[in-house]
Amino acid sequence: MTGSPRDDAGPAIPVLALETVDSTNSEARRQAEAGDYGPRWITARRQTLGRGRRGRNWDTAEGNLAATLLTSTDRSPGDAARTSFVAAVAVADAISAYLPDSLIRLKWPNDVMLDDRKVCGILIESGRIPGGSRLWLAVGVGINLAHAPENLERPATAVADHLRADVTAPPPPREALDRLAAAFAHRQQQWDRQGFEAIVEAWTQRAMGLGGPCAARLADETVEGVAEGLDPDGSLRLRLADGAVRRIAAGDVFFGGR
């Protein structure tokens, strides 16, 4: 089954809709390694081996959205990785149609939160396209629309648990994908035209924890300070107790003792 969500930022991007897949990101990788770089959205009613950041599992129950945008880019690997911020802002845009806007927050680097619980996971993967400097890019998004997974390391929630009074049910996955595709295209165009600073500004408007205590758990240490905001490259600025600033480019962060 195929379709084409429309958006105002360019032509429709095709959708490959599957019943079951191990992971939409894994399927995107297989297509890219076979020489097909999209662009297309890949979605599935059910994932059997969904993946999140740092190799964590991401369960996708029926009624939730699992989708990956497969595309290509001229950006460097470091620059392309910042697409995770674009995706996080786009998810927040998309689900705001169903939720009280005040509940939607972004946790560095790319977690989308509702009432301090995770509702969405984002996984960016890429690889070099043979014969040049271009990259294929897989932008994986999993949104808990109808159900929240249990027994996770951190509490999760679902869109269905926080609907506005005028919304009777969470959107079906395809409706959510249509909104996500349009929002992502808009934010990607904003990055292209206005620079990454525009994405930083949009992300900061929904950021949780800025101005408060933060602990960053890195590979070989834990750094504590006050989260001041994002650098232009998306790194988190931590003001340490001695007044120095530490830039956090990767790691798990915890705000206010969470």
Relative orientation angle of helices 83-95 and 196-205, to the nearest 10 degrees:
50
Average pLDDT over residues 115-128: 94
Amino acid at 183: A
Q: What stretches of the chain show up as alpha helix (H) in DSSP?
A: 24-33, 77-81, 83-95, 173-194, 196-205
CATH entry 2.30.30.100 includes domain 213-255: yes
User: Has residue 1 got a pLDDT over 50?
Assistant: no
Same fold, 2-205 and 213-255: no
> What are 139-192's pLDDT values in tens digits?
999 999 999 987 666 789 999 999 999 999 999 999 999 999 999 999 999 999
Q: Which residue has the higher pLDDT, 124 or 50?
A: 124
CB atoms within 10 A of CB 208: 17
Judge contact between 109 and 119, C-beta under 8 A.
no
Q: Which two tokens stand for residue 16?
A: 């490959």
Percent of the chain's residues with pLDDT above 70: 90
pLDDT reported for residue 54? 47
**Topology of domain 2-205, per CATH?**
BirA Bifunctional Protein; domain 2 (3.30.930)
Domain boundary assignment for the chain: 2-205, 213-255
d(CA 146, CA 254) in angstroms, rounded, equals 26
Judge contact between 108 and 236, C-beta under 8 A.
yes
Average pLDDT over residues 29-55: 85
Average pLDDT over residues 218-226: 91
Strand order from edge to edge, sheet including 135-143? 2-3, 15-21, 40-47, 65-73, 135-143, 117-128, 111-114, 104-107
Q: Which residue has the higher pLDDT, 54 or 157?
A: 157
d(CA 196, CA 192) in angstroms, rounded, equals 8
pLDDT reported for residue 11? 61
Q: Which two tokens stand for residue 213?
A: 């205590």
User: Has residue 55 got a pLDDT over 70?
Assistant: no
Q: In Å, how far are 67, 144, 147, 227, 242 from 62, measured between CA atoms? A: 13, 10, 8, 37, 49
Count of CA atoms in the C-beta half-sphere (13 A) of 22: 6
d(CA 88, CA 43) in angstroms, rounded, equals 18
Q: Which two tokens stand for residue 194?
A: 């206005």
User: Has residue 29 got a pLDDT over 50?
Assistant: yes
